[in-house]
Structure 1
Amino acid sequence: MTDPNAIDADGAADERDEDATDDEPDGDLPRGVVDEVERLTRLERTAVDDNEIEAYERRREELLENHDFTSRIRDDDGDDVLVCHPEEWHDDEAGVIRTDRIEDIDRAVEIPLEGTEDPDDWAAVDDRNRDLVAAVREAHGDVHGDNAALLADFAGNHYAKPIASLTADELAEFREEYLVRNAWPSEKQREVIAESIELVFEATGESAPTVGSQ
């Protein structure tokens, strides 16, 4: 069965590609490009149709090539990490990264692709998280809904896990690091982020974990 997202690769995905170039940069890559590259990689890993897999891989390569970047999967103690780095670092003939060509290691972007405890079916996990976002938005308005969407991005993209499975430490990382470095929420969003987190967990039927509760 063909995943509708694969068809979208030639339709709505074009709009995502255009939007991606307007976001804040992550190294030399706009944040939107990083997010889309990650999304395509996760879809590629869960797809079963060869045509879908090729479509996701091709679009990812095109996005990166537009910024003179390439990517590879690195095994990090058994967990796969997507590494995006400038093409100029790569020695095509030797098939390796030339360390003498690396002038600023921060230009590379590393994206963990696997959570440690939860199922690796990222698409299904993301769908559940997006359902929570929709429920919070409908019940509590757009500001809380936007915060819920940021939390869903964090849970799915960084840990490949349901929001309800986030630990107190991971929620602290979300508030203290992810929001500051990656999300750029509005002032209204920042003012109510703690309440938004509580509302998201309330929608799951759970209480948000606190330090010492794990």
Structure 2
Amino acid sequence: MTRTNDEPPEWAKERAREVMAAETGDGEPEGVDGEGAADAADGDDRVPDVPAAVVDEAERLTRLARQTEDEAAAAFYRDRRDELVESHDYVPRLRDEDDTLVLYPGEWMDDGTVQLDRIETTDRAVEVSLSGPGDADRYREVAAYNDAVADAVAEAHGEPHADTARSFAAFMSNHYVRAVDDATPDMRAEFREEYFPRNGWPSDEQLAALDESLAVIESVAADVDGPEE
């Protein structure tokens, strides 16, 4: 992305950092759709007004885009991040000089550039440093664990569960950087309804046994040492 040319003053950036630091200990919404967070914002005057879970997901997708060597995958992660943030009327930008992901309210922007005269309160901006520890090491740990679970499924149960376990392992590692046995109901639904039919090239036997395969994966995972938290 192109770095914005007109940035808020340093005191404004510092204020945004303080706001985000103050919110770190607060409860975060379960999902990233923002509905629960929006309700909380109405009652508590939450600032900034983009949900914390959306900020976390935007950071995760940005890190995934940077670490992959597949340009198509990187573009997918960036597009997914942009659509998510923009659905909350924010605009993501990367500030190169200090390696920071910045989320600006959409009304501050004009032709991709921050307009300082439109900033009514700097508290609404969000900054996330990308230079500290991130998802790269975590991704390797999670992917190795998910692959180990898939191998264990193949050894203990064979087909059709083995191929399904490999597809589910790839899905959870690449899309969510989460262990296969840490999948939420929404993640399982996304895998079942969208990812698996389109990207898993499943056989009729796999499709018929899909729910059983997911249960097998969870059962086998209980006996595999998980990634460190």
Asked if these proteins are the same fold (TM beyond 0.5), I'd say no
Q: Which has the higher contact order (CA 8 A, sep 6+)?
A: 2
Query: What TM-score does the superposition give when structure 1 sets the normalisation length?
Result: 0.45
